[in-house]
Amino acid sequence: MAIPPGPLASLPNTSRKSAGTIVLAFAYAVALLAIGAATMALGEVAHWTALIPAMLGAIVLLAAVGGRLGGLGERAVGGIVLALSILALSGTLSALPLLPAVLTGDDGVRNAAAVLARSVTAAASLLYVAAMTALIVRRVRARRAPA
């Protein structure tokens, strides 16, 4: 698909192969930014830690833009974003066991909005890791396939 004339026409075009990694990074960034914004706007959490998903999302977005503009290679973007998703998982997985109590309205959960935000962040991170794993496996199989 050709880029129509205009300000974006001068941007370097990524190959179809690297487009998957960069598109996944953009999608993950948007998800994290949305989680951070929704937590602040809708939640009862008025602490700076509610913005952690948005901060991670901003870093992921910078990496994706760097990959799209050609400043970062596909492997660099994939590595940076995969490391950030694992970091996000390490900080959010502990909320998943509390999620059923939040969803049933149990009063025993201290901060339901924070548990929900951390659970959604964990889910987005797990989806990203799964999608990247599938992409990597597909590429490895394509290299091994006879021509």
Is 7 part of a structural domain of the chain?
no
Domain count, the chain: 1
pLDDT, one tens digit per residue, over 32-77 is 999 988 888 876 666 777 788 999 999 999 999 999 998 888 889 9
Is 4 part of a structural domain of the chain?
no
Is 114 part of a structural domain of the chain?
yes
Q: Which structural domain range is residue 135 located in?
A: 16-144
Phi, psi of 70, rounded to the nearest 5 degrees: 95, 0
Phi, psi of 26, rounded to the nearest 5 degrees: -60, -45
Is 10 part of a structural domain of the chain?
no
Is 82 part of a structural domain of the chain?
yes
Is 129 part of a structural domain of the chain?
yes
Is 110 part of a structural domain of the chain?
yes
| Per-residue confidence band for 96, with pLDDT thresholds at 50, 70 and 90 | confident
pLDDT, one tens digit per residue, over 50-62 is 788 999 999 999 9
Is 117 part of a structural domain of the chain?
yes
Contacts 24+ apart (CB under 8 A), 71-77: 73/18, 74/14, 74/17, 74/18, 74/21, 74/22, 77/18, 77/21, 77/22, 77/25
